[in-house]
Amino acid sequence: MRNEENPQPKTFKALRYETSVWKYFVELKENSLTSKGYFDLVNVPDLYVIGAGRFLRNLRVNNDLRQKDIAEIVNVAHSQVSQWEKDIYRMPLKSLVKITERFKLSRDAIYEAIDKRMITTKTNLPVKFERIRDIIKFLFPSSLPRSSHVWNVILLKCPDKTLRKIKCVFNLNIHIESRRTVVSSKELHTFLTTFFRYTKVLKIRPPLTNEVKHWSEHYIDLKRAIICPCLQTDGSIGQQKSRIRFFGKNKRLHDYFVDAIYYEYNLLPTSYFKLTIDDKTEYTTYKNKPEIVDDVMKLAGNSKTAPAHGQSIDEYLKEPQPHLKYLKNASKTEQQIALRIWASTEGYIQIERIKHCLRPCLGISCAHPDLVKQLRQLAWNFEIHFTIQKDAKKTWSGITKLVATSMKSILNFLKLGGFIKGIKISSKSPYHEGIDKSTLLLGILEFKKREKKDRLLRKLSIKKIHSKINEIINNKEYRNESYYIKHLS
């Protein structure tokens, strides 16, 4: 149990709230409380008290002093003391404390009188910490400069019971309807800043990946290699160009995106890998970062690769169109990374029966008629030979994806580094949900190696083939990338 005779806490720190990027705390500053657990209100700048007349008069009379004597102690006019005793004017708390301490009376006597409401402040500031221990995290002063003469206090949305207590303790007449309410009060603002420290702790700390840091140190242009490809695949730019977002359930790709922006712009996200309202996917957001938007639009034309809902194709084609021209003069490494980003976000790997032969099939979804051609050309630079697949019923352009089925193309993709490790296959897959794309590729190649020696394997149904591949993966019977590049080339 807490010692009621000496309730002063040694330390106090409470979590106010947290986002996907930051944790926000409130801490009690050192030496804020007296030995009896009262806030040492004399430290609050320009704090005045109301109703101190009787307290002051009794103190003066008990010490057989005149009003003139009191006036000399605090260096004010005789008439000023008379007006204080009659409660005509508010009295500075510092003056009252100075008078009491002259007569060896503890300032706790004043705080006790304030606690009992015999003396009050404008907003009835609490003097005992224990009264606000459970509610202080819902209040914090705004960080506007004092020169603006704005003394706002933010009140976070809280349970009704807590709100009633806050209103009562701080004498506030407010109504909260949104996530937070702004209260304008200089006295309350200075009280909070006097006794409490407001801190925040970063929940994510780049680098989140070793690869992006390594590329940055070797002067790879991360705008071309990662940021633009991410936004052109699973990203978006807000209509007012004030927000960019990257979507997807694969945290690893969010880490690449966050690291790339951190090393290119020294910026942290507004939200990180946060679930949408319908809990269907995650997103990372940067708000009010026009420098990123300007660079993407200048380099890549646009991040919008298809007409918006309800927008006609003609209307869409009148807008700036996305392109991959920014990769034309990029380094080979930047081109490789960009192609891997496209494959990891929009790509898949599976095994198919084509003309009685089992072939690994690497695909990248893309419906934009210019992008798909430029993406195919980019892959051809590394001898990955994609063909364009079409289906007029499935997409706005009639183009659906790029597909490569030759072993040479698959192995050349593997030489680039293949899929980014840590990218899980989605629930849309009937056979391989939750398996790492790069691991599935190795599992398929191991099956192909075995199928060359055992012709009976190629006669299995597709369902059983996928089951065999899953067994290889679950039992970790696959080899590393260099092994298959050597033995299947």
255 burial via Cβ count (<10 Å: 0-12, 13-18, 19+): buried
Dist CA 345 CA 211 (whole Å): 17
Q: How much is the pLDDT for 150? A: 74
What CATH architecture does domain 334-487 belong to?
Answer: Roll (3.10)
Helices (DSSP H) in 86-142: which residue ranges? 93-102, 108-115
List C-alpha distances in Å: 142 to 145, 146, 156, 294, 358. 9, 10, 12, 31, 65
Half-sphere exposure of 122 toward its Cβ, with a 13 Å CA cutoff? 16
pLDDT at 240: 77
- Two tokens at 351? 């095994």
pLDDT at 88: 93
Indicate the domain borders of the chain.
13-199, 210-303, 334-487
Q: What is the pLDDT of residue 2?
A: 45
Please give the pLDDT value at position 1: 40
Residue 145 has pLDDT above 60, yes or no: no
- Non-local (6+) Cβ contacts of 312 within 8 A are none
Nearest residue to 345 (alpha-carbon basis) of 274, 413, 247? 247
Per-residue pLDDT tens over the stretch 358-408: 999 999 999 999 999 999 999 999 999 999 999 999 999 999 999 999 999
Give the confidence band of 7 by pLDDT, cuts at 50, 70, 90: low
Predicted local confidence at residue 10, as pLDDT: 63
Please tell me the class of the 210-303 domain: alpha beta
Average pLDDT in the 257-274 region? Answer: 97
| Cα-based angle 436, 438, 440 (whole degrees, multiple of 5) | 70
Residue 238: per-residue pLDDT: 85
Q: Are 256 and 233 in contact (CB under 8 A)?
A: no
193-217 residue pLDDT tens: 999 999 999 999 999 999 999 999 9
Q: 395: which DSSP letter?
A: S
pLDDT band at 354 (very low <50, low <70, confident <90, very high): confident
Cα end-to-end span (Å), the chain:
74
Average pLDDT of every residue of the chain:
92
Rounded to an integer, what distance in angstroms lies between the CA atom of residue 48 and that of residue 289?
44
Burial category of 414 from C-beta neighbours within 10 Å (exposed 0-12, middle 13-18, buried 19 and up): buried
Q: Interior CA angle at 282 toward 281 and 283, to 5°? A: 130
Look up residue 3 and give its two tokens: 């010692």
Res 269: pLDDT: 97
- Mean pLDDT, residues 264-268 taken together: 97
Is CATH 3.40.1350.10 the classification given to domain 13-199? Answer: no
Q: Structure pTM?
A: 0.85
Report whether the peptide linkage leading into residue 207 is cis, meaning its omega lies within 30 degrees of zero: yes
* Integer angstrom CA distances of residue 57 from 86, 116, 297: 9, 18, 74
